[in-house]
Structure 1
């Protein structure tokens, strides 16, 4: 029996175990999972919904603990690995235990980066009592436990995670300021105009974004004896809570200490195998493939499926992922993909654009050689499905380009009910319209249980509901 040891029980590690067991009906693999967190596997993407109060922690669980026992998988939570012994093919835990392996799968994810701002940490390097990171369910629970005494919160970082945390806090009635050093929020995904529209939309939802701003000190002695954050320009912001969302760093130190090649993360080939040791593999945020480190769930799940197939003797190879970023915040509907900040008048480029800032709408589609190579779809989600499909498949854009922005202009607009069977509805899990129809399910929940559709970012939920409704004359609960 081949011993497969998985280090990491996040979204990548948990999915890999499921994928491998699906391909292993004869139980050729002895599977052990070591997770540093004490939690059951959960959907980290939905943490902002837990923070906002729209979901309970139990509702974001992805793999029930009972599944592991039923599938003869040894799951050990609250276990941290201290070292890898490549010569003896075993790992050493911080408790002093050695766990052997034939194949080691690193799915250790990332850790938050805390900038060197005075007052965020104490002399011991630990976070101040009123400073939090937003990365795990434990982090989320810790914030929830203190919200009863928080009136003002400052979020450091206006990227995807920072905005989701800010919107979640604002949904609790807390006054929220986002401090961001760039000239727009989500500058890696949005152009300047889209960033402005997004900032305006967030302001209407109770989140004020301060751009081109940097913090220098978190300090006591605020008005009324409170605490606050001082900015570089001298501005003082009251802050009962500071949430750090300034980016993450891959957890690759364990691999580097074992002599594996690392760049920004563990360097792997197309089989998700370390280029240094054929017995060690990496997936998710701790893996670097072809120079890329992906920080989203869909690529991690693609990598998990490839590695499971490879270990099972299959031909799968990973060729990289076409990334679509979705902001998951109540009241904001945003998807961004590919190249977005391009010169409208560059040779060989078509740029379609529609903006209605007062209504929170900004849509932009970039076309090269008759193919969609980038898009920003903020507000007005009616055509995002069609644009995403064209981007994913590199399929020809419609002759009437207006159909990419305005629904109803042409038949190619996104109508999930009429989607062909081979059209992908759930990008996170790669679920097509045909699979959803074939599942024979009557509700979105049944579709999720059967196909996993909607269990990633949740952005396809309305499309799944539309597919189901098209098959029945009765109303399908969403």
Structure 2
């Protein structure tokens, strides 16, 4: 194909920026594979959202997490409406951008819990001191507000909440982490490894409350001053961070008449019901799954870039076997190193091999189904993660009497 094909990408996050970059690289004779227009409503250059906690912790400068400059034209403007019949995107500033192929990479929005006092009738902004933690602007606002001795409450004990709590503690804040469910990072961890994360956080000076629901907040003169728990207890609060999960941004797609469930429905070619419109990243739902992780977003961007470049047969996206990694250290001591992949909770008939060291705070566990490695958790020491991930991602059959080989993968000394 020639560069006359116009590809418009709505969303300049990891998925959208990588797609634009790859379309520039997949051209021939120095000519990009498409004329790309990247629409992003944030005023910052595209950045790696995964590293925002490192920016908040003061370990990385904002410019360090910037993504490589994507090919094509970039417009920092909000896309407001899609006219599929005219193949045009209408933007908030009046700009109209025509496309031959449109890619929705609109990402996700933070979930704001229904807390009493959070939004008063007619209010359009959160009270002072209350922050979501999703964008670079959120991160910079939090960074400017935090100071040693400040009382910070983080609502949500998932991956994002744990990262935010550790980052704030590293900056000297007194942090309380409140999680409604019975354990931290319940989507990634089993009970034993979650308990080790709990211990790691308390060792960093973070007060952790699980099975604890926030009912509301108290505001004085427009500033949050307390967090109200369902049991009636009040936490004095200077800074409140809402890390209660995310929801795919599907409004544009729904208004354009595309099929939406949890995310925008796509097939193996990452096409919506309109063959001219595609979706990738946090907003896309493939075979009933919305990933919300970096690895699937990058794989989807790569597959779609190769398809749109037209240099070979269309690439089918068949889902991602995602591995989650987290490393965050408060002040260089007692680092939290975590890797999770596949299915970590065994089914009846599965075999489990695990090694724990409560003194050192390390835990390693793998789940085996038949002759296949189907998942695992490593906490505190990640030297084995590369070998395990290769076996898991390759779906290679394990040798007979697989426990000994797995011990060799889990420990450098083969489990002796």
TM-score normalized with structure 2 length: 0.92
Give the match for residue 382 of structure 1: 383
Aligned to 1:292, which of 285, 289, 292? 289
Q: Is the 8 A contact 1:156 1:243 kept in 2?
A: yes
Give the match for residue 453 of structure 1: none
Task: Give, in angstroms, the shift of residue 150 of structure 1.
Answer: 6.3
Q: Is the 8 A contact 2:147 2:172 kept in 1?
A: no
Q: Counterparts in 2 of 1:96-245, with a 5 A limit? A: 96-123=94-121, 124-148=123-147, 151-220=150-219, 227-245=225-243
Structure 2: how far apart are the matches of 1:326 and 1:27?
33
In the alignment, does 2:8 pair up with 1:5?
A: yes
Structure 1: how far apart are the matches of 2:381 and 2:144?
36
Give the match for residue 353 of structure 1: 354
Higher fraction of helix = 1
Q: Is the 8 A contact 2:106 2:249 kept in 1?
A: yes
Root-mean-square deviation over aligned CA pairs: 1.8
Give the match for residue 93 of structure 1: 91
In the alignment, does 2:44 pair up with 1:39?
A: yes
Structure 2, unpaired ranges of 5+: 330-334
- C-alpha offsets along residues 134-158 of structure 1, whole Å, 9 cap, x if unaligned? 1111111111111138611111100
- C-alpha offsets along residues 212-259 of structure 1, whole Å, 9 cap, x if unaligned? 0100111147xxx98111111122212111100101010111000000
Paired residue secondary structure (2:67): strand
Give the match for residue 404 of structure 1: 409
Structure 2: how far apart are the matches of 1:230 and 1:397?
52
Structure 2: how far apart are the matches of 1:235 and 1:172?
26
Give the match for residue 366 of structure 1: 367
Give the match for residue 334 of structure 1: 338
Task: Give, in angstroms, the shift of residue 125 of structure 1.
Answer: 4.1
Structure 2: how far apart are the matches of 1:326 and 1:209?
22
Give the match for residue 423 of structure 1: none
Higher relative contact order (CA 8 A, sep 6+): 2
Structure 2: how far apart are the matches of 1:28 and 1:40?
22
Task: Give, in angstroms, the shift of residue 184 of structure 1.
Answer: 0.8
Which ranges of 4 or more aligned residues in structure 1 deviate by more than 6 Å? none
- After superposition, the Cα gap between the structure-2 partners of 1:182 and 1:2, relative to the gap in structure 1 and judged at 3 Å, is same
Q: Is the 8 A contact 1:80 1:94 kept in 2?
A: yes
Give the match for residue 433 of structure 1: none
- After superposition, the Cα gap between the structure-2 partners of 1:329 and 1:119, relative to the gap in structure 1 and judged at 3 Å, is farther
Q: Is the 8 A contact 1:230 1:237 kept in 2?
A: yes
Q: Is the 8 A contact 1:226 1:238 kept in 2?
A: no
Give the match for residue 27 of structure 1: 32
Aligned to 1:247, which of 245, 248, 256? 245
Paired residue secondary structure (1:45): helix
Structure 1: how far apart are the matches of 2:383 and 2:102?
44
Paired residue secondary structure (2:257): coil
In the alignment, does 2:20 pair up with 1:17?
A: yes
- C-alpha offsets along residues 404-429 of structure 1, whole Å, 9 cap, x if unaligned? 3221218xxxxxxxxxxxxxxxxxxx
Give the match for residue 57 of structure 1: 62
TM-score normalized with structure 1 length: 0.80
Structure 1: how far apart are the matches of 2:224 and 2:138?
23
Q: Is the 8 A contact 1:199 1:208 kept in 2?
A: no
Structure 2: how far apart are the matches of 1:48 and 1:154?
16
Give the match for residue 265 of structure 1: 263
